[in-house]
């Protein structure tokens, strides 16, 4: 059976899963304009109920996740990619 990651990859997309310190709707609002307007981001979500405040991104191949990390950090939030074994 294919995982979501494998299915997305086969159609020219990548999935990134990150832990963040984005904890409230106010925090989400501070970064949503960037996520909504980025050409390479197809879909995104932040699970505020998860203890790691998981951000899931579906992006086009070649998306610069380090650019996203710098933006999130510039807004005062922690962000780190989760290891596949944690998923």
Strands of 55-60's sheet, edge to edge? 41-46, 55-60, 13-20, 79-81
Q: Which of these, 52, 81, 83, lies nearest to 68 by C-alpha position?
A: 81
- pLDDT at position 54, please? 96
20: left (phi over 0), alpha (psi -120 to 50) or beta: beta
The H or E element that residue 42 is part of is strand 41-46
In the chain the domains, ranked by start, together with CATH numbers, are 4-86 (3.30.70.100)
Per-residue pLDDT of the chain (87 residues; tens, 9 = 90+): 444 554 445 467 889 999 999 999 999 999 999 999 999 999 999 999 999 999 999 999 889 999 999 999 999 999 999 875 444
Alpha carbon distance 63, 43 (integer Å) = 13
29-45: b (≥16 Cβ within 10 Å) or e:
eebeebbeebeebeebe
- pLDDT at position 11, please? 65
- pLDDT at position 45, please? 96
């Amino acid at each position: 059976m294919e995982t979501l990651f494998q299915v997305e990859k086969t159609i020219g997309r990548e999935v990134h899963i990150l832990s963040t310190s984005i904890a409230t709707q106010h925090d989400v609002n501070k970064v949503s304009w960037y996520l909504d307007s980025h050409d390479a981001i197809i879909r995104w979500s932040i699970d505020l109920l998860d203890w790691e405040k998981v951000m899931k991104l579906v992006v086009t191949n070649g998306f610069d996740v380090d650019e996203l990390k710098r933006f999130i950090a510039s807004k005062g939030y922690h962000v780190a990619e989760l290891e596949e074994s944690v998923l």
